[in-house]
């Protein structure tokens, strides 16, 4: 596909995003404000491609052509020819707004500016822009060159033309692009919360991480809730939970469980620290009430998806597809609803609400979707 893509920020995400577009045939101009990040970029890109070359997924010719399409440039001014710029810089609003101003000074009027923010509102990043209609979110998942899903986030003023270009170019790069509302956590990071939170609630009630994970794996999940926290890092998971809790006004549905805080305070971050909730061990033993554990976690996943759906800007299919692609879930929340039936989900939530401790009261109140169905 023709077109020039700019990428700003050559860290974990930016590097992967460069590869996404370069592998699809786009010319990519990429930069970083940190000189060492620019200097090491080519070496890191080569290292990121090495496993694919070794496996034979790409030929030496493909490999060289991908790298040839990538130019590391000294500053944002050199991104002027780009028709789409994706920013993956530090996660602070002031830095992103200032980058938008810098990009607007050099880009063509119809060039699209996409932010890869995870926790800031796209609307806030577009505030103050000269042409807010060209600003939108393209939320990639880590590692960007591997994960199929990209959430496409419009703010109220984003133009259809900008959404079309960002969507078309990103689909041409092999991604499944799903529209997501400009709400905290978009779809995946928001709807995933109960997968961790409800497992932590069970842990605080005295169940073991191993048996909870075994129950989820028996229900078809490739990895259990605690195995996933160990993989992501308890610190990253805590930061995401705290961010969402703040953004949602501290609602008990986003309760920050002490068990997670304690885990981080103790440095048991998971794979990266060598010790986590279950890592280096494995899930198990399978408890006799495994089905009830899975039902409880899925009931809260269904309910969260229902609340998000009620806020608008997404669809049942969008949420189901996003969670299956973004988290490798075996089924989406609305497929869980169909499988269990609304009566069972409602009854499960009602039981949880009735026995909830004071700090979790209102956590399990049914979403409008469940009240209506």
Residues annotated as catalytic are 118, 139, 151, 189
Question: At closest approach, how far in Å is the CB of 373 from ligand NAD?
Answer: 33
Question: At closest approach, how far in Å is the CB of 327 from ligand NAD?
Answer: 13
Is-contact 212 224, C-beta < 8 A? yes
Lookup result for tokens 């090495």? 50
* CB closer to ligand NAD, 142 vs 355: 142
Question: At closest approach, how far in Å is the CB of 372 from ligand NAD?
Answer: 33
- CA dihedral for 277, 279, 280, 281, sign (positive or negative): positive
Dihedral pair phi/psi, residue 22, rounded to 5°: -65, -35
Give the integer Cα–Cα distance in Å for 188 and 240.
12
Question: At closest approach, how far in Å is the CB of 240 from ligand NAD?
Answer: 9
Radius of gyration of the chain (CA): 22
Dihedral pair phi/psi, residue 360, rounded to 5°: -110, 5
Strands (E), the chain: 4-8, 27-31, 70-72, 84-87, 112-115, 135-140, 149-153, 176-180
Helix (H, G, I), strand (E, B) or coil at 247: helix
Is-contact 213 222, C-beta < 8 A? no
* CB closer to ligand NAD, 11 vs 157: 11
Give the integer Cα–Cα distance in Å for 94 and 124.
10
Question: At closest approach, how far in Å is the CB of 99 from ligand NAD?
Answer: 5
Residue 117 burial class via C-beta count within 10 angstroms: exposed 0-12, middle 13-18, buried 19 and up:
buried
Closest residue to ligand NAD in the complex (CB):
11
Within 8 A by CB and 6+ apart from 216, the residues are: 199, 223, 224, 225, 283, 293, 294, 297
Is-contact 111 131, C-beta < 8 A? no
C-alpha distances in angstroms, 223 versus 216, 263, 303, 352? 8, 19, 21, 24
Give the integer Cα–Cα distance in Å for 63 and 174.
17
* CB closer to ligand NAD, 117 vs 263: 117
Question: Interface residues with ligand NAD (CB under 6 A)?
Answer: 8-14, 32-34, 37, 88-91, 95, 99, 116-118, 140, 142
* CB closer to ligand NAD, 34 vs 341: 34
Question: At closest approach, how far in Å is the CB of 16 from ligand NAD?
Answer: 8
* CB closer to ligand NAD, 67 vs 231: 231
Lookup result for tokens 């169940």? 207
* CB closer to ligand NAD, 189 vs 225: 189
* CB closer to ligand NAD, 14 vs 333: 14
Question: At closest approach, how far in Å is the CB of 184 from ligand NAD?
Answer: 13
Dihedral pair phi/psi, residue 74, rounded to 5°: -75, -30
Helix (H, G, I), strand (E, B) or coil at 179: strand
């Amino acid at each position: 596909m023709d077109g020039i893509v700019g990428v700003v920020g050559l860290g974990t995400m930016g590097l992967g995003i460069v590869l996404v577009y370069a592998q699809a045939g786009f010319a990519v101009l990429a930069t970083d404000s940190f000189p060492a990040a620019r200097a090491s970029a080519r070496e890191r890109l080569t290292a990121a491609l090495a496993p694919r070359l070794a496996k034979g997924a790409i030929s030496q010719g493909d490999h060289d052509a991908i790298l040839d399409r990538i130019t590391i440039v000294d500053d944002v001014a050199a991104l002027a020819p780009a028709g789409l710029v994706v920013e993956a810089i530090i996660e602070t609003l002031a830095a992103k707004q200032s980058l938008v101003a810098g990009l607007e000074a050099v880009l063509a009027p119809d060039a699209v500016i996409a932010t890869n923010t995870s926790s800031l509102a796209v609307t806030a990043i577009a505030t103050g822009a000269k042409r807010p209609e060209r600003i939108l979110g393209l939320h990639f998942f880590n590692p960007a060159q591997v994960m199929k899903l990209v959430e496409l986030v419009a703010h109220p003023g984003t133009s259809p033309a900008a959404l079309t270009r960002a969507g078309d170019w990103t689909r041409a790069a092999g991604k499944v692009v799903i529209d997501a509302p400009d709400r905290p956590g978009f779809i995946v990071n928001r709807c995933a919360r109960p997968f961790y939170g409800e497992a932590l609630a069970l842990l605080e009630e005295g169940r073991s991480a191993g048996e909870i994970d075994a129950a989820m794996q028996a229900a078809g999940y490739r990895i259990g809730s605690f195995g996933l926290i160990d993989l992501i890092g308890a610190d990253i998971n805590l930061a995401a939970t705290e961010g969402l809790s703040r953004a949602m006004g501290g609602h008990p549905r986003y309760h920050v469980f002490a068990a997670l805080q304690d885990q981080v305070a103790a440095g048991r971050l998971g794979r990266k620290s060598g010790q986590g909730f279950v890592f280096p061990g494995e899930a198990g033993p399978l408890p006799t009430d495994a089905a009830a554990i899975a039902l409880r976690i899925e009931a809260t996943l269904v309910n969260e998806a229902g609340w998000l759906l009620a806020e608008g800007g997404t669809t049942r299919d969008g949420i189901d597809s996003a969670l299956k692609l973004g988290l490798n879930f075996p089924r989406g929340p609305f497929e869980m609803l169909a499988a269990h039936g609304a009566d069972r989900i409602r009854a499960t939530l009602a039981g949880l609400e009735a026995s909830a401790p004071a700090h979790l009261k209102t956590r399990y109140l049914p979403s409008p979707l469940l009240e209506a169905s």
